[in-house]
Amino acid sequence: MYVDDALQAQMVRWRHHFHRFPETGFNEHRTADTVAGVLQVLGLEVHRGVGGTGVVASLRVGDGPGVIALRADMDALAMAETAAGRPHASQNAGCMHGCGHDGHMAMVLGAAQLLAQRRDFNGTVRFIFQPAEEHGRGAAAMIADGLFERFPVDEIYGAHNIPGLPLGRIATRVGGLMASEDNFVIRIQGRGGHAARPHMAVDPLVIAAEIILALQTVVARSVDPGEPAVVSCTEIFSDGIRNALPSNVTIKGDTRSYSPQVQALLERRLRELCAGICAAHGAVCEVAYTHEFAPTVNWPQCVPVAVEAAAAAVGRENVDDDVRPMMISEDFGAFLKVVPGAFVFIGNGAADEPGGVPLHNGAYDFNDGVLPIGARYFAEVVRRRLPVDGAAGG
């Protein structure tokens, strides 16, 4: 199944339109309008407002009982684009598609057009366009809104572009592919005072520094070395001024891991260290710890399907079926806790190639060369899981 020049050009137009008009999580109203409009023109049954601004479209061909879902994320980042000369640069100040969700939508729309036109499968395909992936809320919102009760599926498949992986390569693995993300906020209450008379104060900045250093020992000394985990302190605030010790300091950060046991260990050790260090200095400590993203864990029976579809799209020599897990997080993990499925990485470009700028960078741009690869990959997944007369596609 090949993508012709006309469809490739159309996918580029879709992608550039999404890039010009980015919208953040649960605000993807214009984006959802565009997606729904394209799917309706293709003749699909379209449902709006699933989990907020989500869109679900169904395409049924033949009498096959199988149902396969293909998912794309819709939201952009609340950050400024730093490529003003780019013809399709964001027109919404302080918002940009810095993670490539514009390309993900265009790929799945391309797959929808391929499948709607060629109808070379037997069964039902659900096209799921998810809001609010960036902060790990959209998948849960769609599930809570009855996604899989209203639109049952047997399996679900997704993909994400990856700068650093060369264009034309696809990678995946059985089991954990991306980590969970938990967020923490540590609030330390000391006693402020004059910077020249620290003996009369309880300095929460010094306590915060000790906590930040101590947290670096959690992974090194409390987690089994065979288990991947990360603890990162990313922000620190105080109510002090140049010549006054603060009374309050707040530390924010996140943790990444793959198993519930390690998640629980990281939270427990963080709480213990904060409480112990604050008590030793005569300060008061409050810790808020929230679970944001589930780990993305591919189902073993679905990965061979993804590998075969990837091989059809880019050649078996360009498919890595045992890629090293990454500590980044993806909302797709919430879907995989409910239904079987698999997720893949699609190369966006390596080093100084087009598409090599990192994700979440103001100069990032999705590589349009990925579009036909992604569209064909998703269409091939459907052909293999919903074959006509029992024969897989080639």
Residue 202 confidence (pLDDT) above 70: yes
Place of tokens 């589930």: 294
Query: Which residues, 6+ apart, have CB-to-CB distance to 332 below 8 Å?
Result: 71, 133, 139, 158, 296, 341, 343
* For range 24-40, the mean pLDDT: 98
Task: Give catalytic residue positions.
Answer: 75, 133
Domains located in the chain, CATH noted: 5-177+295-385 (3.40.630.10), 180-293 (3.30.70.360)
Which string of DSSP letters, residue by residue, matches 342-366?
Answer: EEEEEEEE-TTSTT-SPTT-TT---
236-245 tens-digit pLDDT = 999 999 999 9
Q: CA-CA distance, 181 to 230, in Å (whole number)?
A: 9
Determine the straight-line distance between the first and last CA of the chain, rounded to whole angstroms.
Answer: 8
Residue 257 confidence (pLDDT) above 70: yes
- Could you tell me the pLDDT band of residue 394, with boundaries at 50, 70 and 90? very low
pLDDT score, position 84: 79
Calculate the dihedral angle through the C-alpha atoms of 79, 84, 89, 91, rounding to the nearest 10 degrees.
70
Place of tokens 């998912």: 71
The widest CA-to-CA distance across the chain, in whole angstroms, is 84
Query: Which residues, 6+ apart, have CB-to-CB distance to 30 below 8 Å?
Result: 21, 23
Q: CA-CA distance, 258 to 154, in Å (whole number)?
A: 24
Asked if residue 291 lies in contact with residue 313, where contact means CB atoms within 8 angstroms, the answer is no
* For range 275-295, the mean pLDDT: 97
Buried b / exposed e along 173-203 (16+ C-beta atoms within 10 A): bbebbbbbbbbbebbbbbebbeeeeeeebbb
The mean pLDDT of the chain is 96
352-378 tens-digit pLDDT = 888 999 999 999 999 999 999 999 999
pLDDT score, position 195: 97
Residue 393 confidence (pLDDT) above 50: no
123-177 tens-digit pLDDT = 999 999 999 999 999 999 999 999 999 999 999 999 999 999 999 999 999 999 9
Q: CA-CA distance, 95 to 380, in Å (whole number)?
A: 33
